[in-house]
Amino acid sequence: MLRADAQRNLDRLKAAALEVFRERGLGSPLEEIAKRAGVSVGTLYNRFGSREALIDAVIPDLMAANVERIRLDANAATDPWERVERYFNGLLEMQIADPAVSDAVARAYEGSPDVSAVCAAALDEGARLLDAVRTGDPSFTRDDLGALLVANSALIATGGADAARRIVAVLLAGLRPA
């Protein structure tokens, strides 16, 4: 059981981390987070030990909520192909709207286990939706969706949100069954 003040600091740290990560991405200086939480860096390290742990503490929920929302929206469509489109576009817009999520997706291979888990689930759902439509050749796999998210992340980071939208649109056009 945490002491009352410690619990309060921990909550503040999480809140600050979420704020800062969403503003400047997952690479933000941890000192900035500590500062915004009104706490010293030492405390941050006492509580979390590493940036990864801090990310794991605040990002998975954020991502899971987003992914779930997108999943529901996509599945609300009756046409299987429209589901795919909505899902892909939804993920893209999620990345554009939130640098923290975009970063998390792009680095899912390393790092925080919980973040990786949410990513994996998101890819699984994408694969499931794709399975429901007859895709052309070359067929698009689960891993390809992962690659697409990484690519989007890079484009968004360099200010190319629109470029990412175009790429996804063309890609979807290519995947669309005849």
Please report, as ranges, the residues that interact with DNA according to CB under 7 A: 2-6, 9-10, 29-31, 38-43, 45-47, 49-51
Of the residues 8, 69, 134, 166, which one makes contact with a copy of itself according to CB under 8 A: 166
> Which of a copy of itself, DNA, none does residue 4 bind to, with CB < 5 to 8 Å depending on kind?
DNA
CA-based end-to-end distance of the chain: 60
For residue 15, the minimal CB distance to DNA (Å) is: 14
Do 95 and 156 form a contact (C-beta atoms < 8 A)?
A: yes
160 binds a copy of itself (CB under 8 A): yes
Query: Which window, 40-48, 57-65, 115-123, 164-172, contacts a copy of itself (CB under 8 A)?
Result: 164-172
Q: Distances from the Cα of 66 to the Cαs of 17, 39, 78, 111, 164, in angstroms?
A: 18, 29, 21, 20, 19
74 binds a copy of itself (CB under 8 A): no
Within a 10 A sphere around the Cβ of 108, how many other Cβ atoms? 21
Distance CA 18, CA 12 (A): 10
> Which of DNA, a copy of itself, none does residue 51 bind to, with CB < 5 to 8 Å depending on kind?
DNA
